[in-house]
Amino acid sequence: MKKIIIVTGGSGGHVIPALSIYDHLKENFQVELVTDNRGRRFVNKNNYKFSLIDVPNLFTNLYLLPLNIIKFSISIIKSLLYLKKGNFNILVSTGGYMSIPFCIASYLLNIKIILFEPNSVLGRANNFMLKFSKKIICYDYNLKLFPEKYKNKIFLSNPILRKEIYFIKKNENKNFSFRKKLLIIGGSQGAIFFDNNIIHLISKLSENMNIELYQQVFDEGQKKIIEKKYDDLKIKNKLFKFEDNLFKEYSNFDLAITRSGASAISELSYFNVPFIAIPFPHAKDNHQFYNAKYYAGKNGCWILNQKDYNLNKLNDFIINLFNKKSDYFEKKKNLSKITNQNTWNNINKKLIELINEN
């Protein structure tokens, strides 16, 4: 039986797909999971066993660069020892700088490397390791910054979602209820912009419609202020910082306003929830914009650049969206078309075939 190691870390955008890949492969192969200190908070210890190997970010502090280079070199040595002891056949990396020592060690040990890139722009760690890899799992064949000479390594897949998602009914509502249910997801990057601005948008919207709101709030200090404002306006609300099981509520929402992390918009799309994407403008290589552009190109969402954010215009747009309905339900229909082949069994079959390739 082939033995596989999945290496992940950093944000939920890296870790959550890694857990889904783990679930796809665990019945047919021996699979182990390794993450770092940042990534461990996204892993449910009751469901997944994992090893912890932390890797320094070389460039966070240039004064510490010499020390971080030493630590990074030690991480490569630790990775070599870990891989050699485990006698692994395949390494699956979901990107991020944490994965690089394991990828380098795998190359030195002649272990097959499979990369994973959920974004519509090739990540820097994946770009660095691409020439050493066997395949790279992608959702989009036309990735930005992807070298043409390595296009033959692309393994196209539908978005790899958590297994529980496939057992939840999609949003198939043909009309709106009196109370509009809105979801606000600011993510972990640039979420302060949402904390500072969305409260004013929701307050203004509530003058014209009955709203129920789920909102991610990044700043704990702001949470009580925002909650009191909504309560005073009699807006039914639930505020949260991180909600691991938020996807269980997705089919209840009419509309989402969100950043454009690959995992978040893949899940919203799967549940047929039309969304207004406000990409984080400082994301590396502007990848959030291109993530949203992929769905906008299929007429599945709306994109609003943060620099163009205008309270009154967005308020009028949303009111018009619910009143006229045609644009909204066109987006919803297109999301259904985009995701209709995304089933657990389809992805499971493809991933097992990929692992079994020579």
Amino acid 178 reads F
Which pLDDT does position 60 carry in this prediction? 63
Asked if 32 and 103 count as a contact pair (C-beta separation under 8 A), the reply is no
Total Cβ atoms within 10 A of residue 277: 24
322 and 186 in a common domain: yes
299 and 254 in a common domain: yes
143 and 175 in a common domain: no
Dihedral over alpha carbons 216, 219, 225, 228 (to 10 degrees): 30
Which pLDDT does position 36 carry in this prediction? 86
Distance CA 335, CA 332 (A): 5
292 and 149 in a common domain: no
Distance CA 333, CA 300 (A): 8
Note the pLDDT tens digit of each residue in 206-219: 999 999 999 998 87
pTM: 0.90
* Residue positions counted in the chain: 358
Asked if 42 and 17 count as a contact pair (C-beta separation under 8 A), the reply is no
182 and 149 in a common domain: no
278 and 180 in a common domain: yes
Asked if 72 and 65 count as a contact pair (C-beta separation under 8 A), the reply is no
320 and 275 in a common domain: yes
Residue 6 DSSP code: E
Q: For 177, list phi and psi in degrees, rounded to 5.
A: -85, 170
Which pLDDT does position 83 carry in this prediction? 95
Reading phi first (left if > 0) and then psi (alpha if -120 to 50, else beta), residue 47 is in alpha
| Short-list 156, 98, 142, CA closest to 124 | 98
Distance CA 65, CA 68 (A): 5
Which pLDDT does position 186 carry in this prediction? 84
Low-confidence ranges of the chain (pLDDT < 70): 56-65, 188-190, 358
178 and 123 in a common domain: no
176 and 152 in a common domain: no
**Hey, what are 148's tokens?**
């043409």
Q: What is the number of domains present in the chain? A: 2
Domain containing 79 — which CATH number?
3.40.50.2000
Which pLDDT does position 209 carry in this prediction? 92
299 and 267 in a common domain: yes
For residue 184, the SS3 value is strand
DSSP assignments along 9-56, one per residue: -SSHHHHHHHHHHHHHHTTTSEEEEEE-TTGGGGS-TTT---EE----
Q: Which domain does 289 fall in, by range? A: 167-339
| Short-list 242, 309, 317, 306, CA closest to 274 | 317
172 and 131 in a common domain: no
351 and 320 in a common domain: no
DSSP assignments along 258-283, one per residue: E---HHHHHHHHHTT--EEE---TTS
* Residue recorded with tokens 């799992």: 137
Q: Angle, to 10 degrees, between the axis of helix 220-232 and the axis of helix 191-205?
A: 0
Distance CA 337, CA 92 (A): 29
Q: In what order do the strands lie in the sheet with 179-185?
A: 236-240, 210-216, 179-185, 255-258, 275-277, 302-303
